[in-house]
Amino acid sequence: MKKAVPKVSVSRMIDPQGGFKVVRKGVSNSQWGDLYHWLVSLSWPRFLTLISLGYVTVNTLFALAYLAGGDGIANAHPGSFLDAFFSAFKLWHLLATGPCIPKHYTLT
């Protein structure tokens, strides 16, 4: 004769109304606690806006640092914010690409 297997109550993680029955203990509800999840949950337009604003902000800070240093940019008008801004912009691209120049580039 087979032994009777007791029936186990299976509890679902989602209640009938569609809410979660999971209880998170010891986890903060701060959005800064999980920056990756916050970035991934952004819509594409908001994400691209955030990245663009960050890029412009960093370039502006570098431009202000160039201006505070005095006449530190060759072939730029002294005190020109636009020259300093575009020099900062070019600096980031130089750092990103490294010493990439065309093969047939000659210095004369």
Range of the domain at 69: 43-97
One-letter amino acid for residue 48 of the chain: L
Q: Is the pLDDT of residue 3 over 90?
A: no
Q: Is the pLDDT of residue 32 over 70?
A: no
What is the per-residue pLDDT for 91?
80
For residue 23, tell me if it sits in a domain. no
What is the per-residue pLDDT for 51?
95
> How many CB atoms within 10 Å of residue 34?
14
* pLDDT averaged over every residue in the chain: 79
Three-state SS annotation for the chain: CCCCCCCCCCCCCECCCCCECCCCCCCCCCHHHHHHHHHHCCCHHHHHHHHHHHHHHHHHHHHHHHHHCCCCCCCCCCCCHHHHHHHHHHHHHHHHHCCCCCCCCCCC
For residue 57, tell me if it sits in a domain. yes
Q: For the chain, how many residues are written?
A: 108
For residue 56, tell me if it sits in a domain. yes
- Report how many domains make up the chain: 1
Condensed to tens digits (0 to 9), the pLDDT of residues 60-94 reads 999 999 899 888 788 888 888 998 898 888 887 77
For residue 5, tell me if it sits in a domain. no
CATH number at residue 86: 1.10.287.70
